[in-house]
Structure 1
Amino acid sequence: MTELATLARPYSEAAFKLAKETGKADAWSDALRFLSAVVQDSDMTAIVKNPRVSKEKIKQLLLDICQDRIDTEATNLLRLLIENGKLKLLPTISVMYEQYKADDEGYVNVDLYSAFALTKAEQSKYVAMLEKHLNKKVNAVVSVDKSLIGGILAKAGDKVIDGSVSGQLHQLAKRL
Structure 2
Amino acid sequence: MSEWTTIARPYAQAAFDYAVENKSVAHWQEMLVFAAEVASNDTIEALLTGSLAAEKLAEIFNGVCGEQLDQEGQNLVMILAENRRLQALPDISLLFNQLKAEFEKEIDVDITSAVKLNKKQQTSLSKSLETRLARKVKLNCSVDPDLIAGVLIKAGDTVIDGSLRSKLNRLSDALQA
> Do both proteins adopt the same fold according to a TM-score greater than 0.5, normalized to the shorter chain?
yes
Matching of residue 120 in structure 1 with residue 116 in structure 2: no
Partner Cα distance (1:168, 1:87) in 2: 47
Task: Show the 5 A alignment for 1:1-176.
Answer: 1=1, 4-49=4-49, 51=50, 55-145=54-144, 148=147, 150-165=149-164, 167-168=166-167, 176=176
Any unmatched runs of 5+ in structure 2? none
Q: Distance in 1 between matches of 2:45 and 2:114?
A: 34
Moved more, 140-149 or 130-139: 140-149
Q: Report the CA distance between 1:70 and its aligned residue.
A: 1.9
- Shift of the 30–151 alpha-carbon distance from structure 1 to 2, 3 Å rule, reads farther
Number of positions where the alignment pairs a residue of Structure 1 with one of Structure 2? 175
Contact 2:48 2:57 (8 Å CA) reproduced: yes
Q: CA deviation at 1:172?
A: 5.9
CA distance in 2, matches of 1:94, 1:8: 9
Q: CA RMSD in A?
A: 2.9
For structure 1, list consecutive stretches of 5 or more residues without a partner in the other structure: none
1:33-60 per-residue CA deviation (whole Å, 9 max, x = no partner) reads 11222222334333433x3655455433
Identity over aligned pairs, percent: 38
C-alpha distance in 1, partners of 2:108/2:98? 8
The amino acid that maps onto 2:81 is I
Structure of greater Rg: 2
Deviates more, 1:15-24 or 1:34-43: 34-43
Q: Give the Cα separation in 1 of the matches to 2:57 and 2:100.
A: 29
Report how far residue 32 of structure 1 moved.
Answer: 1.3
